[in-house]
Amino acid sequence: MKQFLIATAAVVAMVSAAQAQQRTFDWSGPYVGAEIGGGFSSTNFAASSTDFAGGYREDVMVGGVFAGYDWQFGPVVYGLAADIDFVHSADLAFGDEDALTGGKGEAYTYDVDWVSTARARLGYTPTDRILVYGTGGIAAGHFEATSYSRPSFFDTADTASYSGVKWGGVFGAGVDFALPNDWSLKAEYLNYRFESINFGGEGLPNTSFKPKFEAVKFGLAYRF
């Protein structure tokens, strides 16, 4: 048994050494890049008194920069990554939208300006130049939300609003492709969940927006 274990260990060591010699690309080291993509911004809305509770969603475009550092151990790659993306979309408006322009009723608007993450990632290289990974960590985003209430055509609208940063979590997966001359391409999906936005008063019911965000992003990075 002892001889068998020694022989097995020797075979494993020789195979590992042979694989290491065959490798032509190493993912270890820092990288920086730019990214662009699209996705969905959505919110679950509720209020203490409303006819419009439910989920709402809109298409968005994103673009920004990212950076990270990877370590490679055999076919396994692990690392840290961070990014910030600016979000392009129109305000998501719902309710009695005439209330926004002088009509009566209740109306609400919701928007996200940017999102950012700090994540760990763990991946596997089926070939030297392809890295498939999962990722997760913390997220932050800047949100704006407003509620309007106009009881009649002759009344001035009562308004309440929120503008600020909310924190949350993010998870996803992606694939990196190594290119010549230290460049790489990535395709990545991220799903963000944020803490609720709560505000009200000033003649308005208490309102709650629960932000969610999804994005598919494509990026080009330079690896040092």
In the prediction, which pLDDT does 22 show? 52
CA distances from 110 to 26, 36, 45 (A): 44, 22, 10
Residue 61 counted as domain residue: yes
Note the pLDDT tens digit of each residue in 130-180: 999 999 999 999 999 998 887 766 666 688 899 999 999 999 999 999 999
Q: pLDDT-based confidence at 2, cuts 50/70/90?
A: very low
Confirm whether 192 is domain-assigned: yes
CATH number of the domain at 115, please: 2.40.160.20
Structural domain containing residue 116: 26-223
Q: Does residue 12 sit within a domain?
A: no
The Cα 94–Cα 116 span in angstroms is: 26
Q: Is residue 35 part of a domain?
A: yes
Q: For the chain, how many structural domains are there in total?
A: 1
Asked if 110 contacts 145 with a C-beta cutoff of 8 angstroms, the reply is yes
Domain for residue 4, yes or no? no
Separation between Cα atoms, residue 174 and residue 33, nearest integer Å: 15
Question: Is residue 21 over pLDDT 60?
Answer: no
Half-sphere exposure of 191 (CA within 13 A, CB side): 4
The per-residue pLDDT for 11 is 36
Query: Over the stretch 28-53, which tens digit does the pLDDT of each residue have?
Result: 999 999 999 999 999 999 998 888 99
